[in-house]
Amino acid sequence: MYRRFLFVFVLGVILATNVVSQNSKSQDGESFSFAFLTDIHLKPEMNAPKGFQMAIDKVNELNPDFVLTGGDLVYDVMRGNQARGDTLFSLYKKMSAGFNMPVYNTLGNHDLFAIYAESPETSDHPDYKYGMFERYIGKTYYSFDHKGWHFIVLNSLDVTENKRYTGVFGEEELKWLKNDLAKVDTLTPVVLTTHLPMITSRAQVKGSNGRGNVSNSAEIFQMLENYKSVLILQGHIHWKEYGVINDRIHYITGGSIAGNGWKGRRHNTKEGFVLVHVNVDDFTWEYVDHGWEAERLKNAKLRE
């Protein structure tokens, strides 16, 4: 009787230890980090490649699982010029290969090719609007999964009849998103990346809205109504903010890598990027200074 009891007891301890071990592995597997870099505005001038390289080096030092960009990869192709556009996107493609982890890119307004009236290329050019971005980078909207989280990269841009960019999610994209979300359990945390903000405090703080927001964001919020946890990452306005809506929807506007065109802060937001730390179904975040401000000020002092 004693031997039988001892055997059952030892077996129970072994099984319990194994369960704890498996649970620990499962939770460890669901913890990760990723970097969100927006408004890079890469160009050969203004020491922008040096500043971007500093951001790449900082991300590699922190070693997140992957990088998400928030659009405006280059500056700028809206006014056309095929040769200039190829130079900018080639530079971005070459430099972004320096990240030690995968990079998922978002389309920004400055990445729209030849949309302005002054462009020497017209709307029948194969690179017009999304074409150059698609040729160098890939799809303008798509999704992927990572360690129990669902990530959706959105295209928040179109062009008006009077040749200006506008913030809107297209009908085909909305249909695609509805089908994409239909495959995602409502308990799964969802992250959306958009260049133009879906929601922001800027209108209240600055007193204007303009073309800086997406006009039909409500359609996407309605699709996400039953999802337990949603995080929106956005750029465009070079503004750093964080908000929570009803303990369920979180949004971060991620500042910028380039600041005010590589000349200094914009809205008094230091140049930098967002690092998100995920722990199972929750997250924390921090804004990381990649050192460009100190480098810029040092160079300015040397020129005096």
Q: Where are the domains of the chain?
A: 31-303
Q: Give residue 147's pLDDT.
A: 97
pLDDT tens digit at each of 304 positions of the chain: 444 444 444 444 444 444 333 333 334 448 999 999 999 999 999 999 999 999 999 999 999 999 999 999 999 999 999 999 999 999 999 999 999 999 999 999 999 999 999 999 999 999 999 999 999 999 999 999 999 999 999 999 999 999 999 999 999 999 999 999 999 999 999 999 999 999 999 888 988 655 679 999 999 999 999 999 999 999 999 999 999 999 999 999 999 999 999 999 999 999 999 999 999 999 999 999 999 999 988 887 777 6
- pLDDT at position 118: 96
Architecture of domain 31-303: 4-Layer Sandwich (3.60)
pLDDT at 27: 40
Give me the DSSP letters along the chain.
-HHHHHHHHHHHHHHHHHHHHHHHHHHHHTEEEEEEE----B-SSTTHHHHHHHHHHHHHHH--SEEEE-S--BS--TT--HHHHHHHHHHHHHHHTTSSS-EE----GGGSBT-STT-SS-TTSTTTBTHHHHHHT--SSEEEEETTEEEEE---EEE-TTS-EEE---HHHHHHHHHHHHTS-TTS-EEEEESS-SS-SHHHHHS--GGGS-TTHHHHHHHTTT-S-EEEEE-SS--EEEEEETTTEEEEEE--SSTTTTSS-BTTBPS-EEEEEEETTEEEEEEEP-SHHHHHHHHHHHH-
pLDDT value, residue 6: 43
Q: What is the pLDDT of residue 301?
A: 73
* pTM of the full structure: 0.89
In this predicted structure, what is the pLDDT of residue 266?
93
